[in-house]
């Protein structure tokens, strides 16, 4: 299982990469492994605002459909539209392929998330 340092992680297996006042949101390697082959993604709408823990996307795999939650409150400003045609990219490179870019979040909300070491310990506790 790959875990990238410098990102924030949720217990629902989403990651956030912060660049300035923007955040890139994706799913972790743990999540994509658990889901199996991803065959479809329903992306959020651009300019849609979400509260922390809101369902903002749906990923379907050969096993099941899974809701993807936004770990912090924010507004979606861009989606990774290439995932609509190639959802399997989330399996191939989960840390390279973001689902959406957000802004308008409160940085103190990031304190509720885990760093890479805490997330690794959390995942190990699930096995």
Query: Which residues, 6 or more positions from 42, have their beta carbon under 8 angstroms from its beta carbon?
Result: 57, 58, 59, 60
Query: Domain spans of the chain?
Result: 7-106+114-126
Residue 120 is predicted with a pLDDT of: 97
Average pLDDT over residues 11-23: 97
Q: How is domain 7-106+114-126 classified at the CATH fold level?
A: OB fold (Dihydrolipoamide Acetyltransferase, E2P) (2.40.50)
Q: Is the pLDDT of residue 127 over 90?
A: no
Q: Hey, which bits of 2-113 come out as E strands?
A: 8-9, 14-19, 22-27, 38-42, 49-50, 54-61, 65-70, 74-79, 100-103
Categorize the per-residue pLDDT at 1 as very low, low, confident or very high, splitting at 50, 70 and 90. confident
Among candidates 7, 9, 3, which has minimal Cα distance to 71?
A: 9
Mean confidence (pLDDT) of the chain = 96
Residue range 61-88, pLDDT digits in tens? 998 899 999 999 999 999 999 999 999 9
CA distance 18 to 103: 10
């Amino acid at each position: 299982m790959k875990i990238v340092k410098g990102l924030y992680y949720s217990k629902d297996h989403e990651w956030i990469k912060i660049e300035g006042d923007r955040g890139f949101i994706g799913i972790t390697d743990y999540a994509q492994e658990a889901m199996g082959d991803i065959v479809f993604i329903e992306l959020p709408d651009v300019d849609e605002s979400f509260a922390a823990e809101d369902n903002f996307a749906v990923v379907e795999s050969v096993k099941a459909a899974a809701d993807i939650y936004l770990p912090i409150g924010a507004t979606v400003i861009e989606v990774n539209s290439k995932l609509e045609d190639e959802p399997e990219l989330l399996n191939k490179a989960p840390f390279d392929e973001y689902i959406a870019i957000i802004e308008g979040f409160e940085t103190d909300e990031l304190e509720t998330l885990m760093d890479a070491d805490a997330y690794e310990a959390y995942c190990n506790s699930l096995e």
